[in-house]
A and B are shown apart, each in its own frame.
Chain A
Amino acid sequence: MKMAMAWGCLVPTRRSLIGYEAATRKVLNHLGVETVDIPNETCCAPFWMQSLDFTTSLAMAARNLAKAEEMGLDLLTPCSGCFHSYMRVNHTYENHPEMREKVNDILAKADLRYDGNVESRHVVDFLYKDIGVNAIKESMKIDLGEIEIGLRYGCHMLKPSDLLNIEYSERPRFGDELLEAVGVRCKEYTGRYRCCGGLLRGTQDDVADYILHDRLMDAKNANLDGLVTVCSLCHIQHDMGQKSIKRKFGIEDLEIPVLHFPQLLALGFGYSAEEIGLNLHTVKTDGIVAKIIAGASKGGVKK
């Protein structure tokens, strides 16, 4: 299996997100998935860009899809925002065929053409559906059974469900199912499925702070060993934003480690915390890693 990777602009460039890229590469490699980066990837034109000029924003996303189409590969991305932008292109192609030529007129400026033949996938959905729970379970070297985490799906990987076509329920299960299969205990807690405020970070910081405060308090009250995210914005908020919430709202004992979904799997595959960038996270992850290692040394090592 070979996929064209679109990393987006946040994952490769934020200190606490680089490990998301490293872990995703290692996990895919470990599971036998060959990857090739989309050459000279460009912005997917998210959110506000789409308001300014919908056709041009589609063309920006379609540029990366065109590169994948040239290589004859489907596209895989770890970023929920990018995933949404790419899905929007094919959806528009199918429902408004007149847009195809409009988009292609713009792509022609870069000597490209996109005919709608690339399927776009989100890494977590790909792991669950294409690799499968059993194959992942069999690749595990360390039992992750000592920890209890809160898995956050975020918003943009799943909604709107008729566009993104993964699963919609107010309580999605597929990610929990995968982690539970490798021993992780996923806790149900209030606020777990609610928005983190990430999309207003940088433009409406007060609103983003108040929402994040509520999400972090939800997690704190749930007594978790850590949070696990699949969305870059969720991670920036919960990990990088945690210190400022602690200060702004005067919460002394707020210290919740935040791991990315593939980082947790990578630990189970036997990679070290440093290899997957856990030491670069803003909130220290030593505690949860030590708990996993301690559990493994008690006889949890599987192979």
Chain B
Amino acid sequence: MKREYHIPTSSFTEEIAALSGGEVIEKCIQCGICTASCEVARVSERYHPRRLIQKILIGKRKEVLESDLPWLCMTCRLCEERCQEGVSPADIFQLVRALAAKEGFVPKVFANAVDLVLRDGWLLAASYSDFIEDEREGMGLDVDLHWDDTFVQRLKAMFLGGA
């Protein structure tokens, strides 16, 4: 009797596999060690990395790109270290986010976070208000932080244009 194998694939899988760093997705055997290792999956019913990779494998392109799930990976990369097939969900979701961003699907909270970096030149610059300058001075630290946002300002158009 001829054996039959199911090799899950889709045009979306091929699209990801064609990107640098995305090739590994075709090696996923859906064992679930990623979800078993994931702190976010432990507290969230929605974000399970194995399930998200499965959606890519079976070609749910629109659903995946429009979802906020690829943005919930905290890149702790424990799953990547444990995966026996060498798959990195963190890298795959980064490629997915890049595609989503190109097509205009950046979840609002993350878009806001990035906008702030591009505006301030720094991540979480709002936290500057969190301490008073006397506290730096008191420990002999420079009060002027010499933040430079001019370089980032020049790059702003490249980011927003998704160059």
Binding site for B on A (CB under 8 A): 9-10, 12-15, 18-19, 21-22, 25, 37, 39-43, 45-56, 59-60, 63, 96, 106, 109-110, 155-156, 159-161, 168, 170, 194-195, 197-200, 202-204, 207, 210-211, 214, 274-277, 280
Task: Please tell me if B31 contacts chain A, counting CB pairs below 8 Å.
Answer: no
User: CB of B80 within 8 A of chain A?
Assistant: yes
Residue B151 interfacial (CB < 8 Å): yes
B residues neighboring A (CB under 8 Å):
20, 39-40, 42-44, 71-72, 74-78, 80-81, 88, 90, 94, 97-98, 101, 106, 109-110, 113-114, 117, 121-125, 127-128, 130-131, 135-136, 138-142, 145-152, 154-155, 158-159, 162-163
Which A-chain residue is minimally distant from B100 (CB atoms)? A51
Query: Which residues of chain A have C-beta atoms less than 8 A from B80's C-beta?
Result: 159-160
Give 5 nearest A-B pairs by CB, closest first: A40-B148, A51-B97, A155-B76, A210-B43, A159-B77
Give the shortest distance, in Å, between B25 (CB) and chain A (any CB). Answer: 16
B72 & A204 in contact (Cβ 8 Å cutoff): yes
A residues in contact with B121, CB < 8 Å:
42-43
The answer on a CB contact under 8 Å between B151 and A60 is: yes
Contacts of B81 in A (CB 8 A): 159-161, 168, 170
Q: How far does the alpha carbon of A13 sit from the alpha carbon of B155 in the complex, in Å? A: 24
Known: A9-B124, A159-B80. A49 touches B159 (CB 8 A): yes
Contact between A56 and B139, CB atoms less than 8 A apart: no
Q: Are A49 and B130 in contact (CB under 8 A)?
A: no
Which residues of chain A are near B140, meaning CB under 8 Å? Answer: 22
What 8 additional pairs, Cβ within 8 angstroms, besides A60-B152, A106-B158, A155-B74?
A: A10-B124, A12-B145, A13-B130, A42-B152, A160-B90, A199-B76, A207-B43, A277-B135
CA distance A197 to B44 in the complex (A): 12
B155 touches A48 (CB 8 A): no
**B interface: dominant SS:** helix
Measured CB to CB, the closest approach of chain B to A80, in angstroms, equals 11
Q: Are A53 and B163 also in contact (CB < 8 A) when A18-B131, A18-B141, A214-B43 are?
A: yes
Please, could you name 25 A-B residue pairs with CB atoms under 8 Å apart, sorted by A? A10-B123, A14-B131, A15-B135, A18-B136, A43-B123, A49-B114, A51-B97, A53-B162, A96-B20, A109-B154, A109-B155, A110-B151, A155-B78, A156-B76, A159-B81, A160-B77, A195-B76, A197-B74, A198-B74, A203-B71, A210-B43, A211-B42, A211-B43, A214-B42, A277-B135
Complex contact B141–A22 (CB within 8 A):
yes
Q: Is the CB of A195 within 8 A of B74?
A: yes
Contact between B149 and A42, CB atoms less than 8 A apart:
yes
Nearest CB in chain A to that of B40: its residue: A207
A197 to B72, CA, bound (A): 10
Task: State the CA gap A26–B95 with chains docked (Å).
Answer: 41
Q: Tell me which of B94, B109, B131, B142 contacts A15 (CB under 8 A).
A: B131
A40 to B152, CA, bound (A): 12
Given contacts A13-B128, A159-B81, A160-B80, contact A42 B148 (CB under 8 A): yes
Task: Say yes or no: A195 contacts B123, CB within 8 Å.
Answer: no
Choice from A19, A45, A106, A200 contacting B74 with Cβ under 8 Å = A200
B-chain residues with CB within 8 Å of residue A55 when the two chains form the complex: 163
Q: For B128, what are the chain A residues with a Cβ–Cβ distance below 8 Å?
A: 13
Contact assessment for A13 and B127 in the assembled complex, using a CB-CB cutoff below 8 Å? yes
Which residue of B71, B88, B109, B151 contacts A63 across the interface (Cβ within 8 Å)? B151
* B113 interface neighbour in A45, A48, A56, Cβ under 8 Å: A48
Q: Which residue of B lies closest to A21 (CB)?
A: B141
- Separation of A22 and B137 alpha carbons in the complex (Å): 11
Are the C-beta atoms of B125 and A9 separated by less than 8 Å? yes
A87 to chain B, nearest CB (A): 13
A residues near B141, Cβ cutoff 8 Å: 12, 18, 21-22, 25
Please indicate the chain B residues that have their CB under 8 angstroms from the CB of A275 in the complex. Answer: 139
Chain A nearest CB from B121 CB (Å) reads 6
Partner of B109 from the list A50, A204, A276 (CB cut-off 8 Å) is A204
